[in-house]
Structure 1
């Protein structure tokens, strides 16, 4: 599992918290700032957004980010190193009091990228806001949800946005069932499963999927949820909505545990072997030096080693879900 960088709990803006009833929020897979920034800037300024979440910025550590600042907004970003693509960012209106809580390290290791911030209202109400990008070859965002699980009980409001590359409108996607179950365990909900990505092939056929997700604790707090009438950038829709800040006490969150006493070698090992076989066949990988033609030349060496490790980790977790699923602990009966 990759490590994450935790920041000191110190406000990034000097703004005093304001009393806000609603926040206007936008989110988009921008697919390279250098190609689409002017379009994004125009959209943000004309739409008077409070928060805009962007993924696939393609920013690198050596890039000068000053050209991508927008007047009136703080720009928080987490770039990627070692492989082109990825990167997540947040534009937050300057008058909002914000703190950067946690973000993934910038070295890409075939795991999802994310950053999480806290926004504080004048009445001490706090909002936890997360931006996530999971590339198609990355493993399931298990680490992100573990971090979210620890943080969310401390907040009145929770919003997660980003491109998960999980086709939630297609039940056959290998990660959909697991995602839905995990959201249930966290008392979180998908706002929409309407397609947000529209790919047109040369023969005129259209492939549509819901990849760009908005996840909240209470969907009744979402107002005016909409998508751009046509793809905004790289076949992705621009999503915007208004979020009504909750003044109610956050509901209790049930903590789930895994009973490892149920794990037995004779049942667990075959499941792990099966999951590894599925994952490696999907990615065209092999743990051993074999006939490269048989695996399309994708023998696990150097660059593919991280992908193999991610696949092994996902296999172990998938097997654990089958043998010892997460469940709510039951109070011991008194005798």
Structure 2
């Protein structure tokens, strides 16, 4: 069971770089853990992103889960989740296994809400409180507390944004202040969201002013086709210091949204840090061995005379020895570890 809240959680996705045999020796009783390490080289990692205005996640959570899996997305931004604060079930259902999420609900009134569902190995965190009134935004960056974050140390910032329709003078002022602050924090920025600006209409005054603002701040707007069933370009992908490729805008079932799904790729020059694989084994002292030999005849008897030495008894002999779980396991001392015992034959 995955524990989820509105906060960002860490998790694991990839296997360790190598594997090694594990030896079980008879000595003191303990539970030991050791990492399996290998050669993990740096590489340019390409991530696949998605964005869609979902217009109520509560009834479409499983559809979003399927979209993530079908398009093999590393992360997807959502706006207009329409979730109230402290509502987590739809986000849990929308997130595939080994994915986490972050969400900002609209504090008052109905509607709004922005979220990001992402692979847990990315280990993102949000610590920027957005106070603007003309738009909603979720700002995430690599978690500095997790050394295994895939994008650690890249200076990468990701913003999921939603601007409701309405007067735009306040939006231009607040958004200009927002991106001016962002560029002082990071040199690699992605902003994905529904801006409710008709960029498909060259004469639209908001569209012209918005594009000038982006140009002054060295941001690039990358969507140049309709993103809504009405034919308007409302949902935008904006980058600063990042190369975006393979951008695609595709209609989805009307059961999902009247907005289209935008997918694209962006590469981050960072080490692909594999998670540490922890192997657990138990170590058994002679006293425990003697007790078990009395209670479970024939199986552990060879151990009692080989304290501190590797087990050399053939594995098939151990497996075929009489071990009657129903009767014998009740007599095993409570101090004996109940986890798996891994036996390696040398």
> TM above 0.5, one fold?
yes
- Which of structures 1 and 2 has the larger relative contact order (alpha carbons within 8 angstroms, sep 6+)? 2
SS of equivalent to 1:124: coil
Q: After superposition, where does 1:261-276 map in structure 2 within 5 Å?
A: none
Bigger fraction of residues in helix: 1
| C-alpha displacement of 1:245 | 1.9
Instruction: Output the CA distance in 2 between the equivalents of 1:75 and 1:14.
Output: 11
| Equivalent position to 1:118, from 141, 163, 177 | 141
Count residues in correspondence: 225
| Equivalent position to 2:262, from 239, 247, 251 | 239
Instruction: Output the CA distance in 2 between the equivalents of 1:15 and 1:99.
Output: 15
| Equivalent position to 2:195, from 153, 164, 177 | 164
| C-alpha displacement of 1:148 | 2.5
**Residue number in structure 2 paired with 1:137:** 166
Asked if the contact 1:24–1:240 (Cα under 8 Å) also holds between the matched residues in 2, the reply is yes
Instruction: Output the CA distance in 2 between the equivalents of 1:45 and 1:141.
Output: 36
Superposition RMSD on alpha carbons, in Å? 2.8
| Equivalent position to 2:249, from 227, 233, 237 | 227
**Residue number in structure 2 paired with 1:55:** 79
Instruction: Output the CA distance in 2 between the equivalents of 1:235 and 1:123.
Output: 36
SS of equivalent to 2:161: strand
**Residue number in structure 2 paired with 1:43:** 67
Instruction: Output the CA distance in 2 between the equivalents of 1:53 and 1:123.
Output: 20
SS of equivalent to 1:236: coil
SS of equivalent to 1:143: helix
Q: Structure 1: 5+ residue runs without aligned partners?
A: 1-9, 200-207, 248-335
Asked if the contact 1:22–1:245 (Cα under 8 Å) also holds between the matched residues in 2, the reply is yes
Q: After superposition, where does 1:1-335 map in structure 2 within 5 Å?
A: 12-13=9-10, 21-61=45-85, 63=87, 65-69=88-92, 70=95, 71-104=97-130, 111-119=134-142, 121=150, 124-137=153-166, 139=168, 140-199=171-230, 208-218=231-241, 221-230=243-252, 233-246=256-269
SS of equivalent to 2:60: helix
Instruction: Output the CA distance in 2 between the equivalents of 1:54 and 1:123.
Output: 23
How has the CA–CA distance of structure 1 residues 53 and 196 changed in structure 2, closer, same or farther, with 3 Å as cutoff? same
Q: Deviations over 1:258-286 (max 9, x none)?
A: xxxxxxxxxxxxxxxxxxxxxxxxxxxxx
Instruction: Output the CA distance in 1 between the equivalents of 2:8 and 2:110.
Output: 31
Instruction: Output the CA distance in 2 between the equivalents of 1:83 and 1:191.
Output: 32
SS of equivalent to 1:245: strand
SS of equivalent to 2:224: coil
Asked if the contact 1:168–1:211 (Cα under 8 Å) also holds between the matched residues in 2, the reply is yes
How has the CA–CA distance of structure 1 residues 115 and 122 changed in structure 2, closer, same or farther, with 3 Å as cutoff? closer
How has the CA–CA distance of structure 1 residues 145 and 117 changed in structure 2, closer, same or farther, with 3 Å as cutoff? farther
SS of equivalent to 1:104: coil
How has the CA–CA distance of structure 1 residues 57 and 230 changed in structure 2, closer, same or farther, with 3 Å as cutoff? closer
Instruction: Output the CA distance in 1 between the equivalents of 2:82 and 2:239.
Output: 27
Q: Structure 2: 5+ residue runs without aligned partners?
A: 1-6, 15-41, 143-148, 271-346
Tell me the TM-score normalised to structure 2 length. Answer: 0.59
How has the CA–CA distance of structure 1 residues 241 and 122 changed in structure 2, closer, same or farther, with 3 Å as cutoff? closer
SS of equivalent to 2:121: coil
SS of equivalent to 1:35: coil
